[in-house]
Structure 1
Amino acid sequence: MSQARILSASAAPCLRPGLALLTLLLVLILGAPVAVAADARSPLAESISPYLRLHADDPVRWRDWSPELFDEAQTTGRPLLISSGYYACHWCHVMQEESFKDAGIGERLNRDFIPVKIDRELHGALDHYLLEFLRATRGSAGWPLNVVVLPTGDALTGVVYAPRDDFAAFLDRISARLSAEREALTALAREGRLELIARMRAGEEPLSASRAARLPQALWTAMEREADLLGGGFGMQSKFPRAPALAALLQARDQGRAPGWADEFLAVTLDEMARAGLRDVIGGGFFRYSETPDWARPHFEIMLDDQAQLARLYLRAGRSFDRPDWIRVGRETLQFVLREMALDAPAAFASGLSALDGDGREGGVYLWTPQQVEAALAGHPEPALVKAYFGLESAPTFDHGHLPKWRGTVAELAGRFGLTETQAGAQLEQGRALLLEARGTRGRPRDDKQVTGLHGLLLSALAEVAEVAGEPAFAAAGTELAQRLCDLGRHPQDLSRLLDLSADVAGAAELADYAWLAQGLHDWARATGEEGVEKAVIPLLETAWETFADPHGWRAARDQPLPGMVSRRFHPGVHEPSPTTTLLALTRSYREQSETLNDRLAAFDLRPGREIEAEPIPHADLILLVASDD
């Protein structure tokens, strides 16, 4: 990524007319040198976050996030450089090796900034705001996310991954411009923030009834425009599963409201994601995304939220389309979670698995050299069959070996090897088990944080599998998890961001935690008939309304420390379900059992605004919810 791409306004193709101030902020980059004393020990060394502990020995003197840092920023005149990422992130590891372990970068950051490192899973609301700021001013964003925030709390500019020399030049430019034009650029940052808020408020102005009625068609048009009807998924470059959008399309299909192309698109997408590289076909988990549109070159981080959502999606689609193979994919995904992501504590699961293996190789857990394949299958009666099925016959396509993929049906291979389909299936399962056993000795660093909301998503998936495949392991895991989450639901005011720590240590739970936790308990109760579990849903919903709702909409967190972090009526759902739509739908289901919920919902303005009309896909579930009233 070139320096020109990082700093120029032309690098932000999604900027719209009326954002001139924000465009200027990309060009007029700044910073101010002030010396600081070295800390004896990094505060990150004792962090509850493996991602933050990873950075404890960087030459950068990282600080853990605290709103009180703005007092120091105002005293010293130094801006914050807030760097957000997560343990499983491949490019976060790359940027640490290239930049944050570099002495020159450390000197720049320690002298000219207050460097702050945050784990996006612990500070989801702050991370989301910084992402949205960068999308508005650059047109795209991602992780590692690095945003300069002035002592006033206004975000100024930022950059995602950049090579060492480009990042150094970025920091130098900030420092030089702040020294020369601090007051003018501080004023511009404030005006830019006010402009973003004004644009957001304008986008929330309710549509007329006739325009709102056309939102479903606007949604299908937008989806078809972005859909890859041949290769599956959305977009024609890097591809993410986009589970919320696929789930909404499947829901509409089951309700008889989907467009004519929906069946074929869902079938292609679910088939390709399962076989072409996005999925670990040996173990059963899904990688976070592919850098190519054919799903063939994934980055190897594995996240709990993806596993939960995709397992549920495949189970529902398998039942809807009468596709047992999709139900199998859903079951194997949950088996992967129970086997690979379970922690030592009961009903506790890691938030993610690193893209790197124990030796620091990206994808090293999942890739196979020909020699490793031969050794693993040494005792198998037909190793050539296993190699053919998993695409392990030709030369490896990754630096560290083959990525197994599905390369044909069992029926096709049975004929090729002179076996019955039953015999071939049994031998393939034997081969898969041998490969899984062999790779079990490889180091697999994992993020052992127990994020509350993600466990709610997982419970929803276990509720789904309870309806289609009554296996004892799933039933036991779901019952244990439901009980643990139900206990939390009885004391909703004390809910923490992490299941195993108090709010004083881990931070108070955010809006998404309440939404996904309530949804998981609701789904489990409906699937199993456990009334005691369902009784915990109403207190969670009532507390969410009391804690996060205000006259403008919903706050993403109890306390929003930056002035640009304001309430919104409807929060989008891109890679995870929208917390606001989740809460609104659940409130509708329980309003007759709670006067508080009934009053709150009656007073809430459910009319979609222009922002949803302009970008309907992140609000697909809301559009379907509102359209169901018609």
Structure 2
Amino acid sequence: MLIVLALGGPVAVLAEARSPLAESLSPYLRLHADDPVRWRDWSPELLDEARATGRPLLISSGYYACHWCHVMHEESFKDTGIADRLNRDFIPVKIDRELHGALDHYLLEFLRATRGSAGWPLNVVVLPTGDALTGVVYAPRDDFAAFLDRISARVSAEREALTALAREGRVELIARMRAGEEPLSASRAARLPQALWAAMERDADLLGGGFGTQSKFPRAPALAALLQARDQGNAPPWADEFLAVTLDEMARAGLRDVIGGGFFRYSETPDWGRPHFEIMLDDQAQLARLYLRAGLSFDRPDWIRVGRETLQFVLREMALDAPAAYASGLSALDGDGREGGVYLWTPEQVEAALAGHPEPALVTIYFGLEGVPTFDHGHLPMRQVTVAELAGRFDLTAAEAAEQLEQGRAQLLEARGTRGRPRDDKQVTGLHGLLLSALAEEAGEPAFAGAGSALAQRLREQARPPQDLSRLLDAPADVAGAAELADYAWLAQGLHDWARATGEEGVEKVVIPLLETAWETFADPHGWRAARDQPLPGMVSRRFHPGVHEPSPTTTLLALTRSYREQSETLNERLAAFDPRPGREIEAEPMPHAGLILLVASDD
């Protein structure tokens, strides 16, 4: 309420305060601008407000493409009962994980360390001291309400004890991390590749492909490391079969949009058949590169085709209006709010789309568009049979069957082009570097050379001066935030890869300043910070950052520094002073550090 004077007396009027999220650069934050929750955009100054009011922060992190983020938005954050709790007892903060990657990663690792698992939407209670207390991922509305009530009651009744407990927990987690970073002996470090292969084999699904036996993510960095070891002649004996099964199943089953060519982020079932339809630029870049390299390594033209179709998907579906600019993600929901609505087909839609096709049945059988749909909104196309099998059934040659299938795919693709596809139009700097690395694999192909050249030119321009690099390509650092460690690593790698693929000269004039700035800005005696500023006391530097779903930025920077050390006295001195020996933490959990293990092993 706002009190104003009118006609000589006080009159109460409603003040329609505009949400600070309404003008955000993030489409994800703008989605929450009309929530009854009085969300705040992240700022370190919020800790001052928390200390002044005694209310903890509830930091909620997510991203635009995320399926469960949309579900929790509808169920909880639009609910007035939840809003009353958050507005009264907390300072509610909404962040986009792609804009505040370092903060998101810290909160994610905190929840994983204290609860055993984590994901998005990520909701963490942070006390006025800056220490994380507890958190929860997606929860149904009533469960989330109970969580908030329980935390509010405990903070009110046990504030001092909880503050001490959170501080002790933070100190313990940091001490545990530092102990895990103590370098291994030379003999134990030499056995790290064997520890890596043993860990991979334990987690590998040798029949269905991929890692794990429940929900499955591609885990491209681990697959890329296994392929690299194979090409170097150092892979375990099961690697060939595992890579073949994994790449075949990911390309055939529901993880891949077999009509358009893109990959979904993950499947909630181990057969890859039940994706949540979110599409991320980093996944497209990494998987395109993986399939292209594996296709050459295994002499598999079909994998090369998958890699090229993935790049074509990015250029067609994720390109923004600005030149050499690409969306960071595509929403799991269509324009009508239906999960997977862009990719699913009812029988009536299939029939209409294939009108005029010489053999509609050929197409429906090949893509599994028959029978009862397995999703609420229709069939998800998957490759169910081989072209050779279909050719025999329809009395066609293999070439004729392939031609008709391509015609059917093109008709389906054209028909679905009218469906609304909400995009996250943030131009994240580091993700464009990953894309350039993928385009470099096809730099000699006219279909991709122009896009790669334009992107390389834009990234070279953005990289000067490196100290001013922004988190987003289309906004300065004082608006979008300063670039983080990963942005420097992936941008430098992309420019390096493009120059190697094209023979471009002078790339060191851009890459070396990026590397030198990264060392100067993010390295300290304890390792590497993920961001320039780390406002929470638990956000500390670490020697080696993991690479689970995206490449490790520290491994990327160390490898590039090795490549350019002879051309830079600064890089040579920095690398000479850095201890590259892995610690016990990596021995215990080697898969997130697969690239580092191979890098260190190359010294032996």
Measured against the shorter chain, the TM-score band is over 0.9
CA distance in 2, matches of 1:201, 1:581: 18
- Partner-residue secondary structure (3-state), 1:365: coil
Q: Return 422-431 or 266-275, whichever deviates more.
A: 422-431
* Change in CA separation of 1:65 and 1:479 when aligned onto 2, cut-off 3 Å: same
Give the superposition deviation at 1:489: 2.1
| Cα distance, 1:235–1:26 mapped onto 2, change above 3 Å | farther
Judge conservation of contact 2:442–2:449 (CA < 8 Å) in 1: no
Alignment deviations for residues 13-63 of structure 1 (CA, whole Å, 9 cap, x no partner): xxxxxxxxxxx9999999999999987111000100000000000000000
1:555 to 2:529 alignment: yes
Question: Given that residues 73 and 151 in structure 1 are in contact (C-alpha distance below 8 angstroms), is that contact kept between their aligned partners in structure 2?
Answer: yes
Query: Which residue in the other structure is 1:21 paired with?
Result: none
Cα distance in 2 for partners of 1:166, 1:152 equals 27
Secondary structure of 2:482's aligned partner: coil
- How far apart, in 2, do the equivalents of 1:33 and 1:219 lie? 72
Per the alignment, do residues 421 and 29 of structure 1 end up closer, same or farther by CA in structure 2, a change over 3 Å counting? farther
What does 1:364-379 align with in structure 2 at a 5 Å threshold? 364-379=341-356
C-alpha distance in structure 1 between counterparts of 2:77 and 2:474, whole Å:
30
Separation (CA, whole Å) in 1 of partners of 2:602 and 2:2: 43
Contact preservation (8 Å) 1:25, 1:156: no
**Deviations 1:357-385 (Å, cap 9, x if unpaired)?**
00000000000000000000011011111
Q: Which moved more, 1:539-548 or 1:39-48?
A: 39-48
Contact 1:45/1:53 (<8 A) preserved: yes
Residues 28, 574 of structure 1: CA spacing in aligned structure 2 closer, same or farther, 3 A cutoff?
farther
1:415 is displaced (CA, Å) by 1.1
Change (3 A) 1:131 1:33: farther
Change (3 A) 1:34 1:481: farther
Q: Is the 8 A contact 1:33 1:111 kept in 2?
A: no
Change (3 A) 1:126 1:421: same
Distance 1:115 1:301 in 2: 26
The separation in 1 between residues aligned to 2:228 and 2:107, in whole angstroms, is 31
- Tell me: CA distance 1:211–1:454, structure 2 relative to 1, closer, same or farther (3 Å): same
**Residues 31 and 179 in structure 1, CA contact (< 8 A), matched pair in contact too:** no
Counterpart contact for 2:2–2:14, Cα < 8 Å: no
Q: 8 Å contact 2:124–2:133 — kept in the other structure?
A: yes
Q: C-alpha displacement at 1:534, in angstroms?
A: 4.2
CA contact (8 A) 1:33 1:78 kept: no
Contact 1:350–1:447 (8 Å) recurs in 2? yes
1:300 to 1:31, Cα distance in 2 relative to 1, 3 A: farther
Residues 61, 96 of structure 2: 8 Å contact kept: yes
Q: Distance in 2 between matches of 1:601 and 1:434?
A: 54
What is the distance in 2 between the residues matched to 1:156 and 1:29? Answer: 47
Partner of 2:461: 487
Structure 1 unaligned segments of length 5 or more: list them: 1-23
Instruction: Pick which of 80-89 and 488-497 moved more.
Output: 488-497
Q: Is the 8 A contact 2:466 2:514 kept in 1?
A: yes
State the 1:532 CA deviation.
3.4
Percent identical among aligned pairs is 91
Equivalent residue, structure 1, for 2:9: 32
- Shift of residue 490 of structure 1? 2.7
Tell me how far 1:160 sits from its aligned partner: 0.2
CA–CA distance in 1 between the matches of 2:262 and 2:400? 26
Runs of at least 4 residues off by over 6 Å: 24-39
Q: Is the 8 A contact 1:145 1:158 kept in 2?
A: yes
Distance 1:572 1:329 in 2: 27
Q: Contact 1:238 / 1:293 at 8 angstroms: preserved in 2?
A: yes
Instruction: Identify the match of residue 278 of structure 1 among 243, 247, 255.
Output: 255
CA distance in 2, matches of 1:541, 1:37: 53
**How far off is 1:408 after superposition?**
1.4
* C-alpha deviation, 1:468, in angstroms: 5.3
Given that residues 4 and 12 in structure 2 are in contact (C-alpha distance below 8 angstroms), is that contact kept between their aligned partners in structure 1?
no
Contact map agreement 1:29 1:177 (CA 8 A) in 2:
no
- State the shift of 1:178 in Å: 1.0
Q: Deviations over 1:108-141 (max 9, x none)?
A: 0000000000000000000000000000000000
Q: Give the aligned length.
A: 604
The 2-side partners of 1:502 and 1:226 are apart by 42
Q: 1:303 to 1:149 in 2, by over 3 A?
A: same
More divergent stretch after superposition (498-507 vs 526-535): 526-535
**CA deviation map 1:537-575 (0-9, x unaligned):** 111000000000000000000000000000000000000
- Which of 542, 566, 572 pairs up with 1:598? 572
Distance 1:121 1:36, change over 3 A: farther
Say if 1:610 and 1:396 are closer, same or farther in 2 by CA, change over 3 A: same
| Residue 603 to residue 399, structure 1, CA distance change in 2 (3 Å) | same
Residues 1:256 and 1:220: Cα distance change in structure 2 (over 3 Å): same
Q: 1:467 to 1:184 in 2, by over 3 A?
A: closer
Contact 1:31/1:176 (8 A) holds in 2: no
TM-score (norm 2): 0.97
> Is the Cα–Cα contact under 8 Å of residues 291 and 298 in structure 1 kept in the other structure?
yes
Rounded to whole Å, the distance in 2 between the matches of 1:203 and 1:58 is 42
Classify 1:525/1:353 alpha carbon distance in 2 versus 1 (closer, same or farther; 3 Å): same
Q: 1:100 to 1:467 in 2, by over 3 A?
A: closer
- TM-score normalized by structure 1? 0.93
CA distances 1:448-496 after superposition (whole Å, capped 9, x unpaired): 000000000000000xxx5557332300000000000111223111100
- Which sits farther off after the overlay, 467-476 or 155-164? 467-476
Tell me which moved more, 204-213 or 391-400: 391-400
How far is 1:403 from its partner? 0.3
Go from structure 1 to structure 2 and tell me whether the alpha carbon gap of 1:492 and 1:68 turns closer, same or farther (over 3 Å shift).
same
Find the aligned partners of 1:626 and 1:489 in 2 and give their Cα distance.
Answer: 29
2:171 to 194, 197, 211: 194
Aligned equivalents of 2:3, 2:585: Cα separation in 1: 24
Deviations 1:43-93 (A, max 9, x none): 000100000000000000000000000110000000000000000000000
